[in-house]
Amino acid sequence: MDGTDEVVWNPRNRLLSGNERMIAAIKAELSDNQETICDVGTLWMEEREPIAVAFVAENLGYELGEEAPEFGLPNFGPTNEH
């Protein structure tokens, strides 16, 4: 693979690089607001947040690499289970 169909999140500068079409699709879904999207809690939905980027990329159907951050199931609020 030559990287033309890849997007990499760089932990040094906390930015995406790679395929510009894929990056644009990911950025279009990031609101830059705080949202509770998974059982890890509330986080900023921005490019600098790796879990938000991974969550959006997976929702877009992109295959995540081995080094992508782990996240849980969507948090739909409290349940009535005891």
Pick from 76, 37, 35: which is nearest to 58 by CA?
37
The pLDDT, as a whole number, for residue 66 is 85
The pLDDT, as a whole number, for residue 3 is 55
Task: List the domain boundaries for the chain.
Answer: 7-59
The pLDDT, as a whole number, for residue 74 is 53
The pLDDT, as a whole number, for residue 6 is 92
The pLDDT, as a whole number, for residue 5 is 87
* pLDDT for 1 beyond 50: no
Q: Where are the beta strands (DSSP E) in the chain?
A: 7-10, 15-18, 34-38, 41-44
Mean pLDDT for the stretch of residues 48-59: 92
CB atoms within 10 A of CB 61: 7
